[in-house]
Chains A and B, each alone.
Chain A
């Protein structure tokens, strides 16, 4: 009756010990995410893209069309029940190729973010903690240099210097992506470091490592996760821009930008060859953006 939430048995407590605060609050987090219907729409789109990309060989109607395949009898077919998005100039089913193209796009997004985010976050964390010292200046000015170059031009320049492959396109995009995270985390880290709980840890003798990674870092990660979700869409776009000009995945492996570019010269008669790949890009960005908004609602609103 008095303190109703007070189990007396500490053994029982250690068995029930939750692994992480996020999972503990999963229900509440889902509630925050789902308040906005659009976030759910975004989640559905993203889930659809990811699942179809993973299971592409099994769920697409014409998996072989995503490889070396030609069917000159069937070129330029408009959208129909057999070919949902029509066929292209080599007779390949555009719908299947789009799904396979998402594979490359998603792989690129995952690799780019996996490579760019950790160094970016680390640099921002260190620069923020050592704010107003030479470490801060050096790191942030280097970051500024990278941010100063127009991103697409930088990516194009690097990709053009190296051989046109998916790997090299990924490297090019990674190089231009990390500074955004540095700047983001720098802002957060430099303010979190002045919070009393960080001061308390410092006063009691915690090591710099502990303060950086156990105290400050966790408090900077929410906007990082949100940005990562949004960035998948943008990496897909940049990747498509690269493959539009022929850098990146080479034919016959499909890539969204490449498909848009190939189909461009057949406009407007054979409109489906360009429009559907372009719509696919838009859909991806839209989905990740909406989901990212929901993620932000979930992670960044003040806890109750």
Chain B
């Protein structure tokens, strides 16, 4: 897929801490992530590795008062999100970036009909231009519902969320996200709570929409198979750091970081052959994280420098970066 050089989103060295009993949970420890215009980027990692925290930082929707960003910058179209004013942030959330959440049931308000909810999104996303009339909003919401292939959009509009199945609700969430033109879509494990065939449909739909509109996408998933089929570039995240990033073909054929290798080995294959033993150990404590590479306590190939300071992302070939001292010799 073509990649224009225009960089839409550039997260540089992001550190995010949460305040808890006993100190700080130092969740993100220098995240680097970059999305170009029209690009589909996958963020792969296990539960608790910081993917959702990163996304929430982009939109600045972290729980207020309890978090602290000691260093890092998030550049969106050249402007640092962390320094934006409230109004600029509002504009960012309503016109530039849209997020599709994991659980569609939780993302929809149960006491309002679908029409109202999509209508609200449309209304607020154009609040900075003329006030749209009710009729126009209705039209636009029906158009959005049609785009996600929901049957009978006029009648769907007046339904409540509980009357819809999981797959339909997820389509509604996607419709809300695309109801007005956006530059970046963040999809947080869409379809994980749904059946495999429905998940397949949803992914297909997302792909179609993204191709048609040339929107950039950040797709968060813990399924490597989904990442392979739906992304142009993949970031692998572990314990709040990006450990490896590459194009999907390269990543799956030639993983370099020990964590990526371990992860790929753990994925069961339909060709059989058993599953590898997994990765020994478990996620480090964020309260007292290791002072060097965060994967070092579980790594079977560590060298002394690994416990001293965290490795930086290092380009080992074009578009393939790894954060590991083993590759930098």
Known: A2-B281, A3-B281. A32 touches B21 (CB 8 A): yes
Does A302 sit at the interface, judged by CB under 8 A?
no
Q: Indicate whether B22 reaches chain A with its CB closer than 8 angstroms.
A: yes
Q: Is B20 an interface residue (CB 8 A)?
A: yes
Write out the residue numbers on chain B whose beta carbons fall within 8 Å of the beta carbon of A31.
21-22
- Complex Cα–Cα for A119 and B161 (A): 41
Whether the pair A28, B297 counts as a contact (CB closer than 8 A) is: no
Q: With A1-B297, A2-B297 given, is the CB distance from A304 to B281 under 8 Å? A: no
In the complex, A118→B20 CA distance in Å? 35
Query: A2 to B280, alpha carbons, bound, how many Å?
Result: 9
A1 proximity list for chain B (CB < 8 A):
297
Given A2-B281, A3-B281, A304 and B297 touching (CB < 8 A)?
no
Complex Cα–Cα for A31 and B66 (A) = 14
Interface string of A170-194 (1 = CB under 8 A from B): 0000000000000000000000000
Within 8 A of A (CB), among B249-289: 280-281
| Bound Cα distance from A2 to B298, whole angstroms | 7
Instruction: Produce 1/0 per residue, B5-24, CB < 8 A to A.
Output: 00000000000000011100
A1 to B280, CA, bound (A): 13
Contact between A28 and B22 (Cβ–Cβ < 8 Å)? Answer: yes
Distance of A28 Cα from B281 Cα, bound (Å) = 26
Closest to A5 in B: B285
Chain A residue at smallest Cβ distance from B288? A4
Closest chain A CB from B283 CB (angstroms): 13
Name the A residues within 8 Å of B20 (CB-CB): 304
**CA gap between A2 and B297 in the complex, in Å:** 6
A7 / chain B contacts, CB cutoff of 8 Å: none
Tell whether A150 is near chain B: CB-to-CB under 8 Å. no
Taking CB as reference atom, which chain B residue is nearest A29? Answer: B21
A27 at the A/B interface (Cβ < 8 Å)? yes
Interface size class of B (residues with CB under 8 A): under 10
Docked Cα-Cα span, A27 to B287, in Å, equals: 15
Contact of A27 among B21, B280, B297, B298 (CB under 8 A): B21
Determine the distance from Cα of A31 to Cα of B19 in the docked complex, in whole angstroms.
11
CB-CB nearest in chain B for A32: B21
> What is the chain A residue whose CB lies nearest that of B302?
A1
Contact partners of B21 in chain A: CB under 8 A: 27-28, 31-32
Interface size on A, residues (CB 8 A): 8
Q: Which residues of B contact A2 (CB under 8 A)?
A: 280-281, 297-298
Closest to A304 in B: B20
- Min distance, Cβ A229 to any Cβ of chain B, angstroms: 21
Residues of A within 8 A of B297 (CB): 1-2
The answer for the CA separation of A304 and B21 in the assembled complex, in Å, is 10
The residues of A that contact B281 with a CB separation of less than 8 Å are 2-3
CB distance from A37 to the nearest CB of B (A): 14
Question: In whole Å, how far is B176's beta carbon from the nearest beta carbon of chain A?
Answer: 28
Report chain A residues within 8 Å CB of B298.
2
Nearest A residue (CB) for B281: A2
Report the Cα distance A1→B281, complex, angstroms: 11
For the complex, give the distance between the alpha carbons of A27 and B22 in Å.
9
Interface positions of A from 8 to 54, Cβ below 8 Å from B: 27-28, 31-32
A28 to B21, CA, bound (A): 6
Looking at the assembled complex, report how far the CB atom of B262 sits from the nearest CB atom of chain A, in whole angstroms. 15
Query: Given the complex of chains A and B, what is the CA–CA distance between A31 and B287 in angstroms?
Result: 15
Q: How far is the CB of B66 from chain A (nearest CB, A)?
A: 10
A1 CA to B304 CA in the complex, in Å?
A: 13
B199 to chain A, nearest CB (A): 25
Residues of B within 8 A of A32 (CB): 21
Bound-state Cα–Cα, A2 to B22, Å? 23
- A304 and B19 alpha carbons, distance in the complex (Å): 13
CB distance from A22 to the nearest CB of B (A): 15
Q: Which residue on chain A has the smallest CB distance to residue B20?
A: A304
**Min CB–CB distance B234 → chain A (angstroms):** 29
Distance in angstroms between the alpha carbons of A91 and B260 in the assembled complex: 84
- The residue of chain A having its C-beta at the shortest distance from the C-beta of B21 within the complex is A31
Nearest A-chain residue to B65, judged by Cβ: A35
When chains A and B are docked, how far (Å) is the Cα of A28 from the Cα of B23?
11
Q: How far, in Å, is B264 (CB) from chain A's closest CB?
A: 22
Q: How far is the CA of A28 from the CA of B20 in the complex (A)?
A: 9
Q: Shortest distance in angstroms between A302's beta carbon and chain B's nearest beta carbon?
A: 13
What chain B residues lie within 8 Å of A304 (beta carbons)? Answer: 20
Closest to A25 in B: B21
Chain A residues with CB below 8 A from B280, complex form: 2
CB distance from B239 to the nearest CB of A (A): 15
Complex Cα gap A113–B104 (Å): 44
How long is the Cα–Cα vector from A32 to B21 in the complex, in angstroms?
Answer: 8
Supplied contacts A27-B21, A27-B22, 12 more A-B pairs, CB within 8 Å: A1-B297, A2-B280, A2-B281, A2-B297, A2-B298, A3-B281, A28-B21, A28-B22, A31-B21, A31-B22, A32-B21, A304-B20
- 14 A-B pairs with C-beta separation under 8 A: A1-B297, A2-B280, A2-B281, A2-B297, A2-B298, A3-B281, A27-B21, A27-B22, A28-B21, A28-B22, A31-B21, A31-B22, A32-B21, A304-B20
| 6 tightest A-B CB contacts, nearest first | A31-B21, A28-B21, A2-B281, A1-B297, A2-B297, A27-B21
